[in-house]
Structure 1
């Protein structure tokens, strides 16, 4: 029975009082939990009831959910993980590894890169080697991967193997014995081998012999010759041409999938990884206790700070002897005075400064670390984790080392603000807006309350910039956001979606109320003067939608965006509210006209779409094409999709949640294929004029022909500047 209902001494009886059903006291429920408890609650909920089956390294449902999230985040990383697992399994069998140990090897190879779910796009898709700071951030997410796997109930063996992948060797660590470290060294070597074999935007893939030679130069505790020889033997006996080469073939698309449920799970994981990244940056580490006060997560940062291994504490019930505390003056804290005791007795979140003895150990076991038995000054925050009904599900403890010289809360706060705010207007940027909307939609479902979204766009804003200058245009945007923030209620979110488009998220507001409020905002905007000027006098068009059963963030935003376009198509400076039934049935008379005037695309697979194909005479040998394209990808912030000897595919721009093309170049996404001609393939080392074919297709919808021709023509000109000399605009638009 849960300690929330039947609490054993000495620490937990208060929890039982707080969670004895939904009594009359529930009428005075505490305020809505903050982001931290909600996201940490999501983290705890990753573990399925009953955990993993006996002998399994992780529950299959957790493994599949992580793989699905990685598929949505980055298909290239997913295919690399599958290839690494295929290789590691074969090498392990060749070395006599079987049973549960073999399952650990294959699962570790499959999941070793799931930390990349939370890596920012500019690093994850960078078409070049990582710099030192970027590599450090990637290492941070490897630690976050361990935290998430702990929450999923992964076995200690699986966590130990994944921790070895990509880690530096420590010859003084006695735990890395020949027997216990063999799975980790197998996975490390196979992962590194596949990384070398796979082509990157900035280099070709290594042939088999070249990859082995490169790894043999790195042989160490991880890359030892015995495992390398077994890898070589296994690949050769399996038939490289028929098996391995097929698996190493680049993916033919981004592979984001279309299942709404899996997409929502992927977004959920992205939110968890993003929050943990922030938590690991601001604090040293944290731990989670379940309803029985049993440790479910002990983050890697706490291992370094307090000297206790996660493998020693996970699954252990917190007792008075687990951690030793003292007050700021060094006086030991007795039962009832420790931070957790006090939070349980009052039922309120607590934050205080205390000392914790490092390496005192759990249940008499010695802790890890060279500085055992010393006292560490920390700030500890303790709070309950509650579910949507207000029931207490567990406890979180977050620690910050007060002696760390790099702890700069003000700078981190400023960094957080810079990452989530639009620099011109100060309102939420697109990323923060989408995160808040996802949270609001989840709360709307859980609590059964309405939710509405307003999408607004300034009318004829380009003419304001052209007539009055961009400085006045910026004043108009700032003035608009000031009005929106002043007119919005507490708990609502105003965000800049891009350019002159803004979104207002309105919790606890139905469609009719949101439409009335949007019309009031429209009138306020039309009647106001910008900084006292008589001109310009901007107006705005609004689209309004409310959450309906089965809605996702994307469907809700797209419906509000469709309503906005109806307002603009039927006169501007007006408000249109749209339900899903109206949108689907075309009940609005403007819908048919809009469909006739705007080309609707759902990616490159849509039939009858726009397409630009040009042939360029490249004064390059084939060996130089990839080198040239690396410079193009870096200069234009492009995302590489696949690279082969005969074709390079990449994506330029992004359309956001709505999928609709915007006005700025970056808001008009296209897919580009650079195909190397046959003559160029024959003369790999020779320079001369050879054919390179450029194929450009739009991604998204709302693509107007004039905008498409301007966008695709500019992309083609930019590419020719890298590949050719003296080429005219020769090609064909479709």
Structure 2
């Protein structure tokens, strides 16, 4: 059978008499079918053929036609071959009824799947004879470079996956490609068939072109191994139906029907990515790594069959690879036991959990060693997941932990257990409650922002009631795996309670956090669960970002309000709240702080301007009241009186610290401009004073009051702050009082 990357001279002779009867007597259309070289020509217009080729390519590729031009200049036969394959695939796609988008992606991938060959040395690209194994390695690397080149000009993942999987074999026997069978994109499987057919029916220096029927025979010979057998049979029927006119129709479509906008929407600049190794070379590195690792490494596929058992696993278990390879995985093979010393069941097996839920699992277990002794091990099960969410298998890494079981590491292990949720292996609520004040403190002291995402599985009770609690546990583990997969270094992912999870996103603004939440929501919604009979679960997300004046309590309540809004609006969505203001208000005069004449209590009065109309500003005021758990005392017209308790937000607060209770009076009205050119604004006259004070707590009270006002401004997106001005008589009395107090109490400075 012919591998396209291999020299065509290696094609074996095939006994045509062994083919199906319909190939023994080809139809008249197939017998009269033109050569695969038949590309629409420009002779009727007097143009040279290559000019007509360039017109076709420019019409199809638009601004990226330069890539094809580079291939044509480097090696014209390869460029013409790619054009023939693209025309053939497009005609085939129309014949089988593919959508316009699928057809566009197929055409572009077929035209540019060999563009990486421009990097081949001349002695390989222009070699007149068969290639050596070393030269084939360079060809494979050049094919992978096609993907790297296209990554710079398009972010269309479908095109990249098609180009990257064209060389993959249907039965997965070609090393270096993870996709096999129907997991290979359909367009890539089509290009592989069309490319092989075109290569076999084209003249080369080292062999003449095959007949169409001989090429059909070779395709059938490779069906099920190199090619998709269904597509091979379909291609033969399509080609016999008359392909020349179909390719002419494709050429006319490119030249007349395609417009610049529809062609160029596929192309945009993408930042460079890292270079990758050719499959065979990468496989050599992986093999050497596995052979020399002291840790045991086991590969298990989706059928739970053992594919790999490295020497490290042999050393730990005393079981040779030949004895277990291709056997069904079971925890009894290694004699695995749980943390309590009980035999590990399949339902509790980390490897099978990774296969079912697509989530990483790390556990301290024990296994039966080569001398039948009990060996403590760390078993890390990692799912192998494609970008579209398809699970290909799992990797189990087994680390011998017996030399590390000393007092210090036992304490660390128990600390880890105390801070982890046993079901999902995420941080637990206690760890989240410890870390959230740390994040707030970093923001207050160093200005490092962070965002908080809170999510909740939709209709989780129905899952438990319908499919059982084990299915519910799988749903929780699946959501935990998605959150862990999308977390970054410095983030904290925790199970907050029940089906609620939280993620602290370090150095992350609300726009980025919302985008990440949307990606996690989509990833969960396309992950089927076996215990739910292939159905999926969904989750709702609330997102917020820390803002000036926030405490750990207010940011958590604001995120929870966003989650409740997502639930109320239909579930399976992301809602963000907060960050109306980052403290960009106008500077406030220091004289806004003053002392009451009858006491030593500090009071602040301000007039605040919000750019929002009053109705929207009042809605934001409701959020401030809810998140601070304010107690409404009185509402009279546009005047609101309430009480708010404010605690020290820093983690260094003492258990004996008591909250400071403030009375807050808000009088609001809408400032409507005389003309309609300027939108209405909202004005808030705010007066804040502590209910009671002590001399020794005055500094703390002033700090808490400032935090409360800062938070109020942030919630209402205040754009202007005007200190409240009293009448002139009171200003003179206040000035005299300040002078007297400054003489009597020099330690206190009036702000």
TM over 0.5: no
TM-score by length of 1: 0.26
TM-score by length of 2: 0.26
Structure index of larger Rg: 2
Q: Which has the higher contact order (CA 8 A, sep 6+)?
A: 1
